[in-house]
Amino acid sequence: MLNLAVAKIKNYPGTKIDVEIIGVADPAAHEYSDFALAGDVTFRGTAANEGGRIMVEGVLNGVYALNCSRCGKALTEEFETEFFAQYALQAQPDEDGEADILEFCGDNIDLEPQFLQTIFLELPMKPLCSDDCKGLCPFCGKNLNKGTCNCEAPIDPRLAKLKDYVFKDDKKGDN
Ligand SMILES: [Zn+2]
Ligand SMILES: [Zn+2]
Which residues form the domain of 75? 3-121
Same structural domain, 152 and 84: no
Q: Over the stretch 25-49, which tens digit does the pLDDT of each residue have? A: 999 999 998 889 999 999 999 999 9
Q: Which ligand is nearest to the CA of 154?
A: 2
Identify whether residues 169 and 115 lie together within a single domain: no
CA of residue 151 to ligand 2 center, whole Å:
4
Average pLDDT taken over every residue of the chain: 88
The answer to whether residue 126 sits within a structural domain is no
Residues 67, 35 share a domain: yes
Strand 74-88 relative to strand 101-103: parallel, antiparallel, unpaired?
parallel
Please compute the mean of the pLDDT values over residues 4-31 and round it to a whole number. Answer: 96
Report which of residues 162 and 101 the model is more confident about.
101
Distance 136 CA to ligand 2 centre (A): 8
Q: Decide if 133 is inside a domain.
A: no
pTM value is 0.78
Q: Decide: 86 and 102 in contact? Cβ < 8 Å.
A: yes
Element (H, E) at 77: strand 74-88
Task: Let me know whether 162 and 110 are in one domain.
Answer: no
What CA–CA distances, in Å, run from 7 to 40, 72, 87, 107, 174?
A: 25, 46, 14, 5, 95
Q: Please tell me the distance between residue 31's alpha carbon and the centre of ligand 2 in angstroms.
A: 37
Distance from C-alpha of 37 to C-alpha of 30, rounded to nearest angstrom: 13
